[in-house]
Chains A and B, each alone.
Chain A
C-alpha cells in the first residue's frame, strides 16, 4: 500500500514533496500526521519531571592503573611495616603455613574495582629476611 511508504514522514521526521502530493489526496494519512503530531506535542508538554537527586559524591580518582598501582603499593608498604617491626623475629613457619598462599583482597571503592594480590608466604619471608640482613 502506498501509504506505508511514508513512515518517516508520518512520524514527523522528514517532509518530502512526494508525501505532500500524497497528503493532498489521502485523508487517512492527513489524519495520521495530525494525530501523531498531537502525540508528540502532548508528550513534550507532559514530560516535565525534574531530577532532584543532586550531584553524586564522586571520587577524585577514576579507574585506571595509576590509582590501582598506588593503592597496591601503599598496601604492600603497610603490610611490610607491620611484619617488619624492629626487634621482632618473624614467627617460625609451621607445616600448615608452608605452601599456603596469602590472599589479600583490596576493594577499591570508590574507583569501583577489585584487585587481588596473592603472594606465597615464602617469598614474603625471604624479602623480610633480606631487609633484616641489610639493617
Chain B
C-alpha cells in the first residue's frame, strides 16, 4: 500500500508528537493523583481538627452545666436547708422538759442536727465554685483531706512539694473536681485504707497524684459507674489541656495522675470567656 513514502523528518515528527502526547497524558494523570491525595490528606486533617474542637466544646458545655448544677445545689443547701435545720436546732434548744431522759434525747437530737448542719455546710462549700476559687486549690484540698481523716473512711496523706503558684481559677476548679472524682472512686469502690495525695509544683509542670492501696481493678472488670467516673477524670483533664493517666491492676491499688503544663495557654481558659468554666 505504501505508494507515496512520506518524508522521514515528517515521520519522526509524528512519532515524537505521539510519544509526547502519551507522556503528557501520563504526566497529567500522575499529577492529578498526587494532588488529589494531598487534598484528601488536607481534608482529613481539617475534619479531625473540627471533630476535636466539637468534642472540646461539648465537654466544656457539659462541665459548665455540671458546675452550674453544683453551684445551685450548694446554694440551696446553704441558704435553704441549712436555715431550716438551724431553726429546728433552735427550737430543740428551747424545749425544756422535766424528765431527764427525754431532755437527754432532745439534746442528742440537737447535736445530731448540729452535725448535719456542719456536714451540709462542708458539702455546700465543696460544691460551691466561689468558695473554691476564694480559698485556692491547695487550701481546699487540705480541707478535704482533713474531712476525710475525720470521717474515718480512709487515712489520707497530703504531700505538697515545690513552690505553690496559682494556675487560674478555672483550671484550679477543674483540678479540684478531678480530685473529688478520684477520692469519690477510692471511697466507693477501692476499699482502701490509705490514700496518698501529692501536689507537685515544678515551674514547667504541675502534677496531681492520688494513690490508694485498695483492691485495684483491671480495665475489663470496670462497672458502669466506675468506668464513667474515670472517663470523667480524663475528659475534665482534656478540657484544661492536662493529661490524666489512670493505672491499676487487680490487688495493687489505683493511681490517678494529672499532668498540667501551667504555661500552656488554652484559648477558653485564657480570659477570653472569663465568666465561663470552659
Query: Are A and B part of the same complex?
Result: no
| Chain B residues with a Cβ under 8 A of chain A | none
Binding site for B on A (CB under 8 A): none
